[in-house]
Amino acid sequence: MSLASIILALVTLQRLGELVLSRHNTERLLARGAIEVGVNHYPLVVSVHAAWLVTLWVWGRDQDVNLAALAIYLALQGLRLWILATLGRRWTTRIIVLPGEPLVASGPYRYFSHPNYAVVVAEIALLPLALHLPRLALIFTILNLAVLSVRISAETRALSGPGQPRTGTP
């Protein structure tokens, strides 16, 4: 098994684990009266991410690994964990709004409005570059940015709606 295949297996397991955590958190939030926003574009988000992983498996599993790009990708995982820890039970892959709950303003959210999306943008570019697949990095960066433009707009509207306090911690 190549180093690239091991990396892709770990990334795949990470993403699947995140989907399980997201589903768990989503169910909890909905049970507390939360509302899901942006339901119509969510399948597109999932499709872009799934296609990204599939194409990396198809064209990248036997590639040499650019260790510098991989090191940056791995460093991003620290930021990803910080985001997950900051949001705690409020972290999901969906846009879930719990009316009356304050927005998170601690951790990386002190510095960025959408730190998770910044990490995802970097990851989608860096992992293909780590596998010497610059065309895939470009294609999926463009696709991801297109999806994120819709998603961030929907999320911003939802989080600035009535009954949403502007500051707070998880």
- We report the CATH number of the domain holding residue 104 as 1.20.120.1630
pLDDT of residue 169: 36
- In this predicted model, what pLDDT tens digit does every residue of 52-74 receive, in sequence order? 999 999 999 999 999 999 999 99
Q: Which two structure tokens, joined as six digits, stand for 41? A: 């574009």
Residue 169 forms part of a structural domain: no
Instruction: Tell me what pLDDT residue 167 has.
Output: 36
Mean pLDDT calculated for residue range 87-107:
93
For the beta carbon of residue 162, count every other beta carbon within 10 angstroms: 5
Q: How many domains does the chain have?
A: 1
3-class SS shares of the chain: helix, strand, coil, % to 5: 70, 5, 25
In a domain, 170, yes or no: no
pLDDT at 113: 86
Question: Looking at residues 108-130, what average pLDDT do you find?
Answer: 96
Residue 49 lies in a domain: yes
Any domain includes 50: yes
- Does residue 57 fall inside a structural domain? yes
Predicted confidence at residue 116, as pLDDT, reads: 95
For the cut 70, the answer to whether the pLDDT of residue 27 exceeds it is: yes
Residue 142 in domain: yes
Arithmetic mean of pLDDT, 83-88: 97
43 is a domain residue: yes
Kindly state whether residue 111 falls inside one of the protein's structural domains: yes
User: How far, in Å, CA of 12 to CA of 35, rounded?
Assistant: 29
Query: Residue 14 pLDDT more than 50?
Result: yes
- Taking CA atoms, 45 is separated from 4, 88, 113, in Å, by 24, 22, 19
C-alpha to C-alpha distances, 86 to 16, 80, 100, nearest whole angstrom: 20, 10, 19
Segment 140-169, tens digit of pLDDT: 999 999 999 999 999 988 888 654 543 333
Domain of residue 54 covers 3-159
